[in-house]
Structure 1
């Protein structure tokens, strides 16, 4: 797109940033998969399944909204579920279950398993930060100028009259 002749400016810097963010999301998801191969399922997965599903739903909805924004070239929805709040709920539940498991039977919960649980929470925190970066970049790319209404000149991210 850099070499393409056009009268319409293209936000290449923003596109590059989106590509880097998506690559980071992919790396974080790969890291989460590796961490989850070594985690104690009973204490940190099965007992907080509802909270995990809510967290994953928030992430999926944010990614879906980002995809839709690029396809429709429209602004993000005004309200999206908070992945950060879902993560805080999930981590507090995991910590409570871990404390209970350690108090009940120290032998069953080994130090390495605890380290993987802590690592997972950190990677999920990085995931939330990265998703929020992506959403912010989508807002910058596709928000409409406040002075302009629908159908007016300068509408959209690629306008020659608006923000280019």
Structure 2
């Protein structure tokens, strides 16, 4: 398995993976599919201070993880793993690389907003070292009340 920086050239593969998860209502609160063009635009925006890493095995995407910078020391993380690739350490490897990147950018805290009904996602983030964020932080960021906000210290 390899982990690399995703580029707009990966948009079609990432959109396909994401759309499979959305269609199956599998581990995401998203409910509208994304086009390759929309994903390419998102990846280009992330190049302006964010990150998207792609995990793959022989050119087959296993999962991806993105971070949008919310402030000088704060980023919001999203992780999407192909169903067949779960439990293989993909998310943990992505987080290790994301953590190194965040430390280099001065980001000390990563936040994950996970849908309240997504217990598997919450378990995964907790297994990777995320803990419950303060209620005040959830309100400050304006996340939906049916989200669970988890935080991870990168230091």
TM-score range, shorter chain: under 0.3
Which TM-score applies when normalising by structure 1?
Answer: 0.27
Which TM-score applies when normalising by structure 2?
Answer: 0.28
Which has more strand, going by share of residues? 2
Which has more helix, going by share of residues? 1
Task: Answer 1 or 2: higher relative contact order, Cα 8 Å, separation at least 6.
Answer: 1
